[in-house]
Amino acid sequence: MEYVTVSAKIDKELRKKLAELSIKPSEVIKRALIEEVEQRTREELRKKVKRASVIIAKAGRNNWVRAIRESRSEA
């Protein structure tokens, strides 16, 4: 895996408190970024599912059942 450096400007007082508490900013930043990416990925997936459900509802249940059965018979 290849890494890149990401930096953030923080208040001097916060940096001092981080040092006092032995908190490594890189670990906190990395974890926060991972969580944010996961959350936004889930949000995007929800939006796609919602759009797909609208399309599926418009097509109707019987059409979907027929299409699934036809695809199974082709396999």
Tens-digit pLDDT profile for residues 21-38: 999 999 999 999 999 999
Specify if 47 maps to a domain: yes
Query: What is this structure's pTM?
Result: 0.69
Tens-digit pLDDT profile for residues 55-73: 888 888 888 888 889 899 8
* Distances in whole angstroms, Cα of residue 13 to Cα of each of 5, 10, 32, 41, 47: 23, 8, 20, 33, 40
What is the sign, positive or negative, of the torsion defined by CA atoms of 33, 26, 8, 15? positive
pLDDT band at 75 (very low <50, low <70, confident <90, very high): low
Nearest-10 crossing angle of helices 61-74, 25-59: 100
Q: Which domain holds residue 30?
A: 25-74
Specify if 6 maps to a domain: no
The total of structural domains in the chain comes to 1
